[in-house]
Structure 1
Amino acid sequence: MDLAPEIAAARDHFARRLAVETDCSDVHAALESGAPGFVLIDTRNQEAWDQGHVRGAIHMPKPDMPARIPAEFAPGTAFVVYCWGPGCNGATRAGLIISELGYAVKEMIGGFEYWAREGLPVDAVDASGAHVDATRDVDPLTGPLPKAGVRISCAC
């Protein structure tokens, strides 16, 4: 039995996914580098943003994107978008909007849910409008627990 067609199909499938998806760990590493090569956008509504968002993200709900992106970002800007989490397709919809505007875009799989559950830096907006640290402890079901203050990478 010739498995070459199935192997090629699998390779093509995973290559297509990696072309349009990234994960929380890779986004965090890129942000920590100081030169991530993309603009990170939180696509959720104001209430969700205020409750908690990825430190370093900008807030841009989907309805605002068609006007704001071309006005605020030069052609050639790359984006990473996220929404609540795996049960939400808001980031997928945002990716479609941004790509239709002619920009490169990737979706951060896991969304804000997995960012927060992995103990990555989270800001919230308090009653005065100030950004405050809202980082949570690592959920042992979603990420390796840090040891002696050092974050452990899953090395995936």
Structure 2
Amino acid sequence: MNNTAISPALLPPPAAPAEAIAFFAARLSFQTDVSDVRASLDSGNPGFALVDSRGEAGWQQARVPGAVHLPTADIPARAASLLDPVLPVVTYCWGPGCDGATRAALALAQLGYQVKEMIGGIEYWIREGFPVESATGTEQRPADPLTAPLGSITCAC
């Protein structure tokens, strides 16, 4: 074993602490996760509007209870009629392989809204065992043990 070899995980080397603080603080100001959104919604006073930026087919298939349906393409024309301009907005789309929530967040920010993206999207909402609603009612599946702690809405991290 060569002790002088640098770990591939450390190439390039980690940023200086001050740079890391700036990066991670900025990242948290742009993103939130499904567990925090769920806890906020469960409080009864989340302090934000939750926007599902998917198209009609996705909305009909399943959505987070209480979300506002505002497809990204419709944001310039419809945001003002659906969203309070002083209330922050959290956007979501399909999941980590989709940048629809990012595009929606950008479109809303360009209109002057304070906005964050819910990382993981509806995929991780469902995988963590949170309820979804559709035209047939509300459904809740068990949490995927590979993505969420069983029996808890938070990872306690």
Q: TM-score if structure 1 supplies the norm length?
A: 0.87
Sort the Cα spacing of 1:58 and 1:71 in 2 relative to 1 into closer, same or farther, 3 A: closer
Provide Cα deviations, 1:114-139, integer angstroms capped at 9, x if missing partner: 0000001111224xxxxx11221110
Deviations 1:81-129 (A, max 9, x none): 0000000000000000000000100000011000000001111224xxx
Q: Which residue of 2 aligns with 1:51?
A: 61
Q: Where does residue 72 of structure 1 map in the other structure?
A: 82
User: How far apart in 2 are the matches of 1:37 and 1:54?
Assistant: 16
Task: Give the letter aligned to residue 155 of structure 2.
Answer: C
Distance 1:152 1:56, change over 3 A: closer
Taking the aligned partners of 2:101 and 2:150, their CA distance within structure 1 comes to 27
Secondary structure of residue in 2 paired with 1:53:
coil
Query: What root-mean-square deviation, in Å, do the aligned CA atoms of Structure 1 and Structure 2 show?
Result: 1.5
Mapped pair 1:155 → 2:156 = yes
Aligned length in residues: 144
1:135 and 2:140 correspond: yes
Using the TM superposition, give the Cα deviation of residue 152 of structure 1 relative to its aligned residue in structure 2, in angstroms.
5.1
SS of the equivalent of 1:64 reads helix
Distance 1:152 1:24, change over 3 A: closer
| Divergent runs of 4+, >4 A | none
Q: Return the TM-score normalized by structure 2.
A: 0.87
Q: Name which of 81, 94, 101 aligns with 1:91.
A: 101
Cα distance in structure 2, aligned partners of 1:125 and 1:50: 7
Which blocks of at least 5 consecutive residues in structure 1 are unaligned? 127-131
Distance across 2 between alignment mates of 1:152 and 1:121? 11
List runs of 5+ in structure 2 lacking aligned partners.
1-14
Cα distance between partner residues in 2 of 1:74 and 1:84: 24
**2:110 counterpart of 1:100:** yes
Q: Does 69-78 or 113-122 show the bigger shift? A: 69-78
